[in-house]
Structure 1
Amino acid sequence: MGILIIVGCLLIGILLIGLSIYRFVKEIKEKDSKKDKWTVVAQNILGLFSDPLHHSTF
C-alpha cells in the first residue's frame, strides 16, 4: 500500500514538473526578440527564488 502512495506522488510530481516546463517553453516561443526571451527566463528564475511557496505554476 505504501509503495502505491509513493508511486502516485512521484507520478503527480512528474506531471506537475512537465506542465511547468511546457508553459515555460510555450511562453518563450511566443516571444520574438532574444531580449524578450531572456526577460522571460529571468522572470521565471526570479519567480522560483522570490516566493517558492506561494508561486503558482499554472
Structure 2
Amino acid sequence: MSEKLPLTGETIIFTGSKEPEGAMALTASLGGEAIYLPLIEHPSGSHNCRISTVTAG
C-alpha cells in the first residue's frame, strides 16, 4: 500500500439518499474505487437505480 494512495485496490461503497460527490472524489484521489448505491426509490415509482463509480486516473 502506498502512503500517498492508501485506498489502492479498495472499493468503498456509499449509500444514502444523496450522492456524496466530495467523498467519492476523495476516495478516488486516494486510489480507491467509490461506488454509490442509493437507498430510496425514485419518485416516479421506478425501481431502476443509477450506480455511480469514480476511480482514480
TM-score range, shorter chain: under 0.3
Higher RCO (C-alpha 8 Å, min separation 6): 2
What TM-score, normalized by structure 1, do the two folds share?
0.26
Which structure dedicates a bigger proportion of its chain to helix?
1
Larger radius of gyration: 1
What TM-score, normalized by structure 2, do the two folds share?
0.26
Which structure dedicates a bigger proportion of its chain to strand?
2
